[in-house]
Amino acid sequence: MSELRILSPTAILGYGFPLSSFQAGLDRDPHVIAVDAGSTDPGPYYLGAGKSFTQRAPVKRDLHYLIQAALERRIPLIIGTAGGSGAKPHVDWTVSIVREVLGELKATAKLAVIYSDVDRDFLLKEQRRGRVQPLGPVDDLTEEEISESVHIVAQMGLEPIMQALEEGAQIIVAGRAYDPTVFAALPVLKGYDLALALHMGKILECAAIAASPGSGSDSLFGYLHDDCFVLEALNPERTCTKLSVAAHTLYEKSDPYSLPGPGGRLDLRQTNFQELPGGKVKVWGTRFVPTEKYFLKLEGARRVGFRTISIAGVRDPIMISQIDEIIAAVKERVADNFRDLRDYQLHVHRYGKDGVMGSLEPQAQPAHELGLVMEAVAPTQEIADTICSFFRSTLLHYGYPGRKSTAGNLAFPYSPSDISAGAVYRFNVYHLLEVDDPKGLFSMEIREE
């Protein structure tokens, strides 16, 4: 095979795509349709709660067209990090939609389901053996953190997906996966260069975000050759440029020359980008450097409490000029009133002053109006409701120097003013696990649906 063609329909399954772009991709006769379905960008809640950050209806809409096209053309459809976070609840949720679509299409398919959940007892043993290490500036993984994690997943590499392809799977629903793998698995299985396949997958995984102008809900096409790959935007309103493709190569990476992943890293020091006629970009020169040992990235989430928030606006310039002192005084009033409640957190995000960057804000000069997001986190929802309510009501009526009105200090856009937001999670596992078998942690089920 002199050329392997890959269609990436959208940046995240459920983000949608124009049917005209998708059809343009199908007209180019792809050998595989691959799509990333998840990310850690929306934060730890979705992994901890076992819920998807994309809604069911748009995911089903996308899957309808993807499954129909893949089955009609007898090419594989590969879905990575199913359900947003890739734990068992997310994978099963995605599989249920796949089944529903197959039923509506009156079609059958050989379905491979790959789970990426890590057993806590197994991880405890590996941690005691010294096979777990921090990834970046995080603490060593403790037994308490492992035991308290709600879900822990491992980020699979190419090997489990390649195995599913070898077993003839027409649709692959994978748990947490290294983003490029769903795009690179078939090429590597066919003998294409590993570095080029992974690098192309790194760009295809966000689809038309790598084009100009970028979009997370539009398609991108990849042509892989023995010594290079070529990227093409499928919407005539977009084009791939050297800048857009090179910039996306650096996307979410701390080192511009080294992109780590399962089993090794991409070395980009000799990578070249060349614009071709028709809004295409050719890429070559990337190398793969294997690591001595094979490591899998672990991600886990732990519940830390429950959250209640209240949103309000402030317009009084006198109050705005004293906002730091006023908030500190009201926090002291809360602490004094609830002396027996020690285990809570109270935060106020001040939009219009430093609400985005906090203490890192270089220009913390208040605007003429502020938006306050008051947040309480506590061991129970009732305590969080109590702390937030008391802070909100105290701030509403707080008397500060120069105040000209005895009415309320805050303007509330919503009634009720307080919103019980439910459980709060934090990422507590962000580590590397040394493994002997890249496929050993991942269980696969082959089903005829």
The mean pLDDT of the chain is 96
Mean pLDDT of 376-383: 98
**pLDDT by residue (tens digit) across 296-347?**
999 999 999 999 999 999 999 999 999 999 999 999 999 999 999 889 999 9
Which residues share a beta bridge with 231? Answer: 222, 281
Distances from the Cα of 335 to the Cα of 118, 131, 176, 391, angstroms: 41, 44, 42, 10
Q: Give domain limits for the chain.
A: 4-299+429-448, 316-410
At residue 163, the pLDDT reads 98
At residue 256, the pLDDT reads 87
| C-alpha–C-alpha distance, residues 373 and 312, integer Å | 7
Mean pLDDT of 214-242: 97
**pLDDT by residue (tens digit) across 103-148?**
999 999 999 999 999 999 999 999 999 999 999 899 999 999 999 9
What percent of the chain has a predicted confidence (pLDDT) above 70?
100
Query: In the structure, what pLDDT confidence band is assigned to residue 1 with cuts at 50, 70 and 90?
Result: low
| C-alpha–C-alpha distance, residues 303 and 377, integer Å | 11
CA 105 to chain centre: 30
Quick check: bond before 134 cis, omega within 30? no
Q: Which of 146-150, 188-192, 249-253, 265-269 has the lowest mean pLDDT?
A: 249-253
231 in Cβ contact with 283 (< 8 Å): yes
**pLDDT by residue (tens digit) across 418-440?**
999 999 999 999 999 999 999 99
415 in Cβ contact with 341 (< 8 Å): no
Where is 195: in which H helix or E strand?
A: helix 194-204
Confirm whether pTM is higher than 0.75: yes
At residue 198, the pLDDT reads 98
- At residue 90, φ and ψ (nearest 5 deg) are -70, -40
3-state DSSP percent of the chain in helix, strand and coil, to 5? 35, 30, 35
Residue type, 111: L
Residue 364: pLDDT above 60?
yes
